[in-house]
Amino acid sequence: MTADLLEVNDLCIERAGHEVVSGVSFALQSGSDTAVIGPNGAGKSTLVQALVGLLPHHGGSIRLLGHTLPRSGRLPKAIRDQVAYLPQKLLLDGRFPLSVSEFVRLGCSPCCNHRQAVPAALVRLQVSHLRRRLLSELSGGELQRVLLAFCTVHPRKLLVFDEPRTGLDPQAAVQLQELLQQLRLQEGLTILQITHDLSMVRRSSDWVLCLNRALCCQGPPEHTLSREELERLYGRDYVLYEHSHHH
């Protein structure tokens, strides 16, 4: 982990005339796994959407893969193709008869050899046996692995997830996290993910951003997930709840 893949300086974002992210600065090192944590309404989803060019920002700067994003947030295609973003809720119309293989093929770039890339992605994410199944027939855990195959069917440098384990049972959530870590190590990916799963953050993340409109703190999990920092971020009642469930 050496070069900074993403640099954010004094970032400010407005929604409907109100500042919802204020003065945020951090950097993502290439190959790292960074978690964004914080209470509901803290601006976490707004932040990551601005980072990948889906929302404009009105102050500060974002430099992604050597490219400075304009205030409008629009990314050039060459940069956009190196980033994959999975929102918290992805609505797939079950009436649309798309198989797993057909869906993953949609993630291929024009120069991608889909005959090789699609089967390879399905193998990496352990969903080859589902290749002929319709998306509407998949369980939550199966669908998340297929979405990961879609995101990585051609080489990416940054994966951005908004609560990827939402709605999954504990076993499926653990399996998904293990697959993410395998991808990170094997493909050299950088991961940025919003999560409420602090036990997962303790196990897997290199760096943690504690956000409540502004950054309350950032650093490795052993610092940011201390009782004192969590109390400052979430409030004392949350810390008492989290502490009792962690032990």
Report d(CA 163, CA 146) in Å as an integer.
16
**How many CB atoms are located within 10 Å of the residue 139 CB?**
12
* Joined tokens for residue 117: 């890339």
pLDDT tens, residue by residue, 27-51? 999 999 999 999 999 999 999 999 9
91 to each of 48, 85, 86, 164, how far by Cα in Å? 19, 14, 11, 14
Q: Answer positive or negative: Cα dihedral of 63, 66, 72, 73.
A: negative
pLDDT tens, residue by residue, 168-226? 788 888 888 888 898 898 888 999 999 999 999 999 999 999 999 999 999 999 999 99
Q: 4: which strand partners?
A: 29
Report d(CA 82, CA 154) in Å as an integer.
9
